[in-house]
Amino acid sequence: MCGIVGLFLKDKALEPELGALLTDMLITMTDRGPDSAGIAIYSEDTNSKAKLTIQSDTPSVAFDGLGGALEQALGCTVEISCKDTHAVLSIAPEKLDQLRSTLKDTDPSIRVMSTGDVLEIYKEVGLPKNVAERFKVTQMSGTHGIGHTRMATESAVTTMGAHPFNTGADQCLVHNGSLSNHNSLRRKLTREGVHIETENDSEVAAAYLTWKMNNGASLGDALESALDDLDGFFTFVVGTKDGFGVVRDPIACKPAVMAETDQYVAFGSEYRALVNLPGIEDARVWEPEPATVYFWNH
């Protein structure tokens, strides 16, 4: 039993409030998963810098002088913005792959949380309220985002085991449920050259979607294929650079509710996650159908 939230903004006037709105939604879902929490924020695309969000258990040591060391190794400007145990590295897009490789050589203990042009992921062990406070999520603005509070069933309670999972540029996934064929699918994806960092079954689902899209599928097509290839119970919310998608397994035993107004589309594991959103009293509210793909984009 985990809690999922998602918010896709249609009204640009709400973008400064994205972090605050998502945080409130996620805190409401705390009792669905008290062991770890995370939020993915999609900011406005500037087309000038790519981002790498990283994490360290010893940030005061790992991040001290890191920007300068990376600049010297790469021969280009590397901006670094530290937020508690996380930091966001900004770099010219053509240098992003080289940055990842150099970072691994510089300090193998640093973990990559997310990569892309607009995506930042913040996640840690702890309650949603505490995690959001550590990273000042309520002060963040953006176009859309998703969040998750976890009750572990398939793997250990660790930072890397927390959701969301980022397995492709500007793509991430949160999951409520349990996959029964994740081990066999992991082996298949590994043979295809897909790197999976953790033992979490949800990361396998994220990697599966990335693999499908890297082979030419749209997100909608990848989610349709997931209904055939993934066994178990699941509700997925998937973030992409310009939107988010939702799908439930054919049995749909995991709760889900959605709301749409002229200002936003919102998702919650339960309706109480949505009650404080502006204009919710006039929203169209419905339960997503089983084995049906929903997607919104800018």
Torsion of CA 60, 79, 86, 25, to 10 degrees: 150
Q: Measure Cα distances from 120 to 44, 209, 228, 264 in Å.
A: 11, 19, 30, 20
Whether the pLDDT of residue 65 is over 90: the answer is: yes
What are the pLDDT digits (tens) for 120-135? 999 999 999 999 999 9
User: Is the pLDDT score of 2 beyond 80?
Assistant: yes
* Whole-number pLDDT of residue 154: 66
Question: Which pLDDT tens digit goes with each residue over 138-179?
Answer: 999 999 999 999 987 767 888 999 999 999 999 999 999 999
- The 3-class SS string of 76-129 reads CCCEEEEECCEEEEEECHHHHHHHHHHHHHHCCCCEEEEEECCEEEEEEECCHH
DSSP letter at 35 equals: S
CB 285 within 8 A of CB 257: yes
Say how far residue 191 (Cα) sits from the centre of its chain.
25
Q: Which long-range contacts (CB under 8 A, 24 or more apart) does 61-69 make?
A: 62/107, 62/109, 62/110, 63/87, 66/106, 66/107, 69/106
Give the three-class secondary structure for 248.
strand
pLDDT at residue 195, as a whole number: 86
What is the token pair recorded at 148?
């998750």
Residue recorded with tokens 């080289």 = 98
Active-site residue, from 2, 76, 82, 253: 2
Mean pLDDT of the chain, nearest integer: 94
What whole-number distance in Å separates Cα of residue 53 and Cα of residue 206? 18
2 is catalytic: yes
pLDDT of residue 45 exceeding 90, the answer is no
Rg of the chain (C-alpha set): 18
The distance in angstroms from the start CA to the end CA of the chain is: 31
Classify 288 as helix, strand or coil: coil
Distance between CA atoms of 102 and 120, rounded to whole angstroms?
20
Q: Burial of 111 by CB count in 10 Å (0-12 exposed, 13-18 middle, 19+ buried)?
A: middle
Q: Which amino acid belongs to residue 131? A: V
d(CA 157, CA 71): 34
